[in-house]
Every structure is written in structure tokens, then in C-alpha cells.
Amino acid sequence: MNIVNIHEAKTHLSRLIEAAVRGEPFIIARAGTPLVKVTALEAPPSSRRLGFMATEADIPADFDSIGAADIEAQFNGPASAE
């Protein structure tokens, strides 16, 4: 395990944290006396469940074209009867 002094830890903190995230913990020491051990935290379980309501709604086959005439009329004005 890598042991670094406080000054080195402050100077290279980003690099040391990235190493800890990759599974390489390190110890910060003062005058050769170990003070703290830095390790990565376990990732919390994801609270987002994709697709959990997939069977709860019916989407019509023509969903993409619903209201197309109304939308077109709002942009282009009402269709003229020629």
C-alpha cells in the first residue's frame, strides 16, 4: 500500500483519489506516522429502475402522428379549401 506524506497528498490529491477509486488505497502520514487510510467507497445501489412500468400503459400504434394536422395548422395556418 502506498504511503504518502501530507504535503505530497495535497500536491497530488486528484491523482491519488483516482488511484483509490481504481482499487489502490493509500495512507497519509505525518513525519512517517500513518494518520489516515483513503479507500474508495462502495457505489450506492441505483435507485432508478428502468422499465419498471413497461406493462402499465398502452401506447397506440399511431402515437407519432396523433394531432399532426392540428400541429401543422398551428405553424402554417388552417388548410385552405381550394
Domain borders along the chain are 2-38
For residue 53, with 0-12 CB atoms within 10 Å meaning exposed, 13-18 middle and 19 or more buried, which class applies? exposed
Mean pLDDT of all residues in 6-21: 95
d(CA 82, CA 17): 72
Q: Is residue 68 a contact partner of residue 75, using CB atoms and an 8 Å limit?
A: no
Question: Residue 29 in contact with residue 3, Cβ under 8 Å?
Answer: yes
Which one of 3.30.470.20, 2.60.40.1120, 3.40.1620.10, 3.40.140.10 gives the CATH number of domain 2-38? 3.40.1620.10
- Is the pLDDT score of 29 beyond 90? yes
| pLDDT higher than threshold 60 for residue 52 | yes
Residue-level length of the chain: 82
pLDDT tens per residue, range 58-80: 888 898 999 998 998 899 887 66
Provide mean pLDDT across the span 9-26: 95
What predicted TM-score, i.e. pTM, was given to this entire model? 0.52
